[in-house]
Amino acid sequence: MAVGVFDSGLGGLTVLDALTKRLPDIPFVYFGDNAHAPYGVRDHDDIFALTCAATERLWAEGCDLVILACNTASAAALKRMQETWLPPDKRVLGVFVPLIEALTERQWGDNSPPREVAVKHVALFATPATVASRAFQRELAFRAIGVDVEAQPCGGVVDAIEQGDEILAEALVRSHVEALKRRMPAPEAAILGCTHYPLMEKVFADALGQGVKVYSQANLVAESLADYLQRRPQFAGTGTQSKFLTTGDPASVSNKATQFLRRKITFEAA
């Protein structure tokens, strides 16, 4: 009974960390497509093909349920996968919906019509591909009306985080927040729409200023998965071992991941 967790690189480890704390008895198989990262600058067909290949690799590990712990893949590939590609005995879930349901204060699985919500001005920080997909706005429209979303493509931030350059990552975050605030001077809430960004959450919050609620994904996704598996235990899969897989160089990725999570992580070749 294993669950797959996929990301283009290391950002999904923030989600995996929350998942393992919330569901300590479930084995998780993490797949990082480090050889092809970052996804945020790729076109949608490319992202779709890479995400499908990674998902099939996780199925081979006994993971009938795969979490796309990558906002770019969730935005650019998930809908197409679910509508045209996914077999009936498998499930692939993204990371947007739990975030939006928290923002709109709806219970997981609440399919009632969209309604007015308290927050009217929302800043979205994400990769260029996620912003271009408009997937966040589309999902939000199913649940809320009258919400103004200003999206800022945060080029370079993922690369800087993956390379361990915190000074550059912080400078880029502050620059992107300034750019957004020129268009939306007073956001009420901010969405960190990339699983790398929780590592920079304090920088985002500081740059945004007081009074802006910052929504990050990891714990919200963990709660949603716990609820999902309680309702659909048949998708827990046949895998029995936790492991870390990468398309990149295992030694290099292991070193970066260990720095990333501040605990020993050992990747093996996918």
- Separation between Cα atoms, residue 20 and residue 28, nearest integer Å: 8
Closest residue by Cα to residue 179 from 160, 149, 152: 152
Q: List residues bridging with 153 in a β-sheet.
A: 126
3-class secondary-structure state, position 60:
helix
Q: Is 70 a catalytic residue?
A: yes
Which residue in the list 52, 63, 154, 194 is annotated as catalytic?
194
Helices (H), 134-192: 135-141, 157-162, 166-183
What letter would DSSP give residue 115?
E
CA 8 to chain centre: 10
3-class secondary-structure state, position 132:
helix
Q: Residues 131, 76: contact at Cβ < 8 Å? A: no
Q: Is 63 a catalytic residue?
A: no
Give the CA-trace dihedral at 92, 257, 189, 177, to 10 degrees.
-120
- Separation between Cα atoms, residue 188 and residue 120, nearest integer Å: 7
Query: What's the angle, vertex CA 53, arms to CA 49 and CA 55, rounded to 5?
Result: 115
Q: Which residues of 85-105 are buried (b: 16+ CB within 10 A; e: fewer)?
A: ebeeebbbbbbbbbbbbbbbe
Residues designated as active site? 70, 194
